[in-house]
Amino acid sequence: DAGVIQSPRHEVTEMGQEVTLRCKPISGHDYLFWYRQTMMRGLELLIYFNNNVPIDDSGMPEDRFSAKMPNASFSTLKIQPSEPRDSAVYFCASRSPGTGNYGYTFGSGTRLTVV
Amino acid sequence: AQTVTQSQPEMSVQEAETVTLSCTYDTSESNYYLFWYKQPPSRQMILVIRQEAYKQQNATENRFSVNFQKAAKSFSLKISDSQLGDTAMYFCASPSGAGSYQLTFGKGTKLSVIP
């Protein structure tokens, strides 16, 4: 298995532009999580899905952020319009079915820089 | 809100020595797993070790072991025979939310192994 795949690895964009981050979870994993990592706030959970359905989006900072999971093998996190304070590393993670005893498998993250 | 506290922002250890990283957590779950993740400069989040709260025996994975004190909600990581490749950020994680599907992460401890 190739693991959790995120793209792009790096993204630099100008303030006001739309940004789309992509994630392919591990096949068979039924939970998918989006986290944001910054120096100040650490790892923050933004949203998570179960069987493609959004379960909790209370961590999404603003309406500028949206996430979708149209099928079991693909998810996107979109920021529109982007702002400099959105600069961070965004991680996608997935988890196998069951009680969560195997933890998450993380993707390699997308480093977003908004200038 | 569930919290995870890592009280040591930075630590250093001589190569081949032993170091212990501290973590305290707060969860309302009755049966749960705890995790330590490693994040090297490559930024990949790597699962190091996990502990089931119902097991009294502390988990061990090669040079990594935990000291789990359930009543105190303490979950420390011990690294024996430290190697240069152990240099990384280390994050403790505990469940948050109903059903333990979400993980809350501590702010991390930056470990430097000195040759």
**Per-residue pLDDT, B24:** 96
For residues A46 and A75, the answer to whether their CB atoms sit within 8 Å is no
Contact list, A100 vs chain B (CB under 8 Å)? 33, 95, 100-101
* pLDDT tens, residue by residue, B24-47: 998 877 778 899 999 999 999 999
Confidence of residue B1 (pLDDT cuts 50, 70, 90): low
- Quote the DSSP letter at residue B44: -
Q: How far is A31 from chain B (nearest CA, A)?
A: 8
Q: What is the pLDDT along chain A (115 residues), one digit of tens a residue?
A: 679 999 999 999 999 999 999 999 999 999 999 999 999 999 999 999 999 999 999 999 889 999 999 999 999 999 999 999 999 999 999 998 765 666 789 999 999 999 9
d(C-alpha B22, C-alpha A46), whole Å: 26
d(C-alpha B60, C-alpha B70), whole Å: 17
**Per-residue pLDDT, A114:** 98
Confidence of residue B55 (pLDDT cuts 50, 70, 90): confident
**Per-residue pLDDT, B36:** 97
d(C-alpha B50, C-alpha B32), whole Å: 10
**Per-residue pLDDT, B27:** 80
d(C-alpha B94, C-alpha B34), whole Å: 5
The verdict on A5 touching B (C-beta cutoff 8 Å) is no
Average the pLDDT over B56-63 and give the result: 92
Facing residue for B35 by CB, picked from A33, A55, A103: A103
For residues A34 and A90, the answer to whether their CB atoms sit within 8 Å is yes
d(C-alpha A66, C-alpha A62), whole Å: 9
**Per-residue pLDDT, A100:** 60
Q: How far is B87 from chain A (nearest CA, A)?
A: 18
Q: B101 vs A31: CB contact, 8 Å cut-off?
A: yes
